[in-house]
Amino acid sequence: MNFLIANTFTDSLTNLTGGEQKAVKTTAFDLQMNPANPGLKFHKVDRAKDPNFWSVRVSSDIRLIVHKSKSSLMICYVGHHDDAYKWAERRKLEIHPKTGAAQLVEIRSSVREVTVPRFVEAPELVDKTPALSKLTADDLLKYGVPAEWIDDLLLANEEELLNLAEHLPSEAAEAVLDLAVGVIPEIVQPQNQDVDPFEHPDAQRRFRVMNNVEELERALDFPWEKWTIFLHPAQQDLVSKEYNGPARVSGTAGTGKTVVALHRAVFLARSDRDSRILLTTFSQALANSLRTKLFRLISNEPRLGDQIEVLSINEVGLRLYKSRIGTITLASQKQINDVIIAAARLIPENSFSDRFLISEWDQVVDGWQVRSWEAYRDVLRLGRKTRLAESKRKVIWNILSQVREQLKSDGVKTISEMFGELAAQLKASSSLPFDYAVIDEAQDVSVAQLRFLAALNQRESDSLFFAGDLGQRIFQQPFSWKALGADIRGRSFSLKINYRTSHQIRMKADKLLGPEVADVDGIIENRRGTISVFNGPNPTLLTFDSEAEEIRTVAEWIKARFEDGLKANELGVFVRSSAEIQRATSVMDALESPYQILDDITEGEQDCVQLCTMHLAKGLEFKAVVVMACDDEVIPSMERIMAVTDDADLEDVYNTERHLLYVACTRARDYLLVTGINPVSEFLDDLIT
């Protein structure tokens, strides 16, 4: 007899307390070892439409729902008594007539008895045209849509389609949402009737056969994270595709770019067992998160981990520099700033602000590794829009050339200098440290880092694979990838299905950005047509007249989420900078709830609310998010605005500050609260409209 668990079970397990989960796991192990054990109390779910649904007693109030047949026993759901029985009464296990895949199907008649919430802010603006008007019933059957749902789907407009999709098997929901935005999904070939329906690729995404106790234990300890474990068919094509040069996958927040990057690294490792693969991103905290997800992804093939190195890109640079060139001491940003300010005081003709000179060093002289007056005089100042006469440039060069000499005298190097030397060393070497590099959050890769990565691509093949979103660029000014040897034209692909963020949060956050984002090389990312696969409550935006009022209200909101059943580690609180962290800690102190302030290397603890700045929120995911202190002069940052010397540079500051708020808001899956003190940030006007 096959022993299986369904993803609906692992999802429901996470809603129970720690003690309840332990009892459930014990019962699950007993079921696997001996389903006929007389100590296991089976009760038929009499009102279920599927006669094979049974309940198994875990405790006085907790029940397992199992599907029992002659050939298999499947754990389908767990919950408190009434909830578990209602779940079983609204489901049936069937074999799809077209695809041959096993499906847990929600019964359409039972859904009619439930009020399906509609989260539509402006009903008069909703397009009533059926979203799938060009399709037929046969078309939908090919994609695994249960027959009883087809009539409703063919009549549904976009908003209704989102509600209906929540009740469909995953492959059917994804297909209809793809079709609604004009994407043609891949059709998985139907199976013969004599093939086990649980062996179908669609079925294997939601049902797992447990061959032994150890495998069951792993499954229960690491419940499936849908955006880490499975791939949409369109994503699978991007993962396994053979490219003839560097490639990039993009998409709005929550569309699965990191998933694609992870699976791409694993695919390369499986395809070439002798290859060495770098999986990297811009911060150590994100690298730690990637490493955890990779471990879960390859838990059944741990040897693949020996081929894949997961590090932040700066850590990669440091390790390679020490092994290939020699020892290195990196200058801190404060050390560099102090040297610039000191050098500026020695030039009487200097009329530039310290902020401008620091920015000119970071973005031009050091960023592009400009080494001579002639090079600086003629540089197009890529990434900088301020026009400077030659006489002005001469003054700046007199200052910044002294900075380079002083840092050299101090025996320190900048990060850009380190990567520049590494790139030159790699180009001259016949031995490369990696065969492939997969880069997540690639929109924030710097000029020097991209030069280094391009030097890894000496075979001019598909050695480089980037994943990122230009709309989430928060650290780097735009520059030409093509000019640095990473030409992705013709190999840039955009994802359109959002798995992580509710429709309501995505729609609200998207108001912060334009419908299109273009890079310097002319590649346009169209943000239209993205669809979320689930609904949720509308985000809440609140403004206050005092910090005390904001702190009290945010604490009450978080307390209500805890009462809804959210765990502490499922909630994040973000502020613009460290200057506002105290407002977030005051909320947690009022709640007397444990919390952790994250830095750029710390991994989040399992039982704490996570607090951090918006910059460090990148890559994090929570069921509920609070974005606090969105005051005027806080976001956009007045300090950054004051450093600007012309209107063109001001535009880039505003863009990246918008991106920053967008990143913070889209870390939320189900609940989002945004707050500020009057006068509030001008960006909140966009969110309110």
- Kindly state the tokens that stand for 518: 């273009």
pLDDT (0 to 100) of residue 413: 97
* Residue 365, CA distances (Å) to 383, 440, 591 in order: 11, 26, 48
Region 430-445: mean pLDDT is 92
Cβ proximity of 254 and 507 under 8 Å: no
pLDDT (0 to 100) of residue 115: 41
The per-residue DSSP string of 336-394 comes to HHHHHHHHHHT-TT--S-HHHHHHHIIIIITTTT--SHHHHHH---TT------HHHHH
Residues 6+ apart with CB under 8 A from 477: 363, 383, 384, 652
Cβ proximity of 135 and 179 under 8 Å: yes
Coil, strand or helix: which one is 63? strand
* Residue 213, CA distances (Å) to 22, 305, 363 in order: 15, 23, 56
pLDDT (0 to 100) of residue 120: 41
In 3D space, the residue among 604, 610, 606 whose CA is nearest the CA of residue 624 turns out to be 610
- Kindly state the tokens that stand for 457: 């691509």
Q: Which residue has the higher pLDDT, 277 or 14?
A: 277
Q: Which residue has the higher pLDDT, 140 or 652?
A: 140
> Residue 232 — pLDDT band, cuts 50, 70, 90?
low
pLDDT of residue 251 exceeding 90, the answer is: no
User: Out of 126-135, 214-223, 265-274, 276-285, which region has the weakest mean confidence (pLDDT)?
Assistant: 214-223
| Sheet strands (E) in 425-561 | 436-440, 464-467, 492-495, 497-498, 516-518, 524-526, 531-532, 540-544
pLDDT (0 to 100) of residue 114: 39
User: Out of 160-174, 514-528, 543-557, 603-617, which region has the weakest mean confidence (pLDDT)?
Assistant: 514-528
Cβ proximity of 629 and 683 under 8 Å: no
Model confidence pLDDT, tens digit, residues 97-108? 999 999 999 998
Cβ proximity of 667 and 622 under 8 Å: yes
Model confidence pLDDT, tens digit, residues 331-355? 999 999 999 999 999 999 998 888 8
Mean pLDDT estimate for the chain: 85
CA 545/CA 553 separation, integer angstroms: 12
User: What radius of gyration, in Å, describes the C-alpha atoms of the chain?
Assistant: 27
Coil, strand or helix: which one is 563? helix
The per-residue DSSP string of 630-682 comes to -BTTTTTTHHHHHT--SHHHHHHHHHHHHHHHHHHHTTEEEEEEEEEESSBPT
Model confidence pLDDT, tens digit, residues 119-149? 344 444 445 778 888 899 999 999 999 999 9
Q: Which residue has the higher pLDDT, 216 or 364?
A: 364
Region 169-174: mean pLDDT is 84
> Residue 324 — pLDDT band, cuts 50, 70, 90?
very high
Residues 6+ apart with CB under 8 A from 123: none
pLDDT (0 to 100) of residue 553: 97
Model confidence pLDDT, tens digit, residues 389-407? 889 899 999 999 999 999 9
pLDDT of residue 213 exceeding 50, the answer is: yes
CA 249/CA 443 separation, integer angstroms: 11
CA 40/CA 232 separation, integer angstroms: 38
Strand order in the sheet with 53-57: 42-44, 53-57, 62-68, 72-80, 2-6, 207-209
Adjacent-strand bridge partners of 195: none
Model confidence pLDDT, tens digit, residues 279-310? 999 888 889 888 988 887 887 788 899 999 99
Region 5-30: mean pLDDT is 87
Model confidence pLDDT, tens digit, residues 625-645? 999 999 999 999 988 888 776
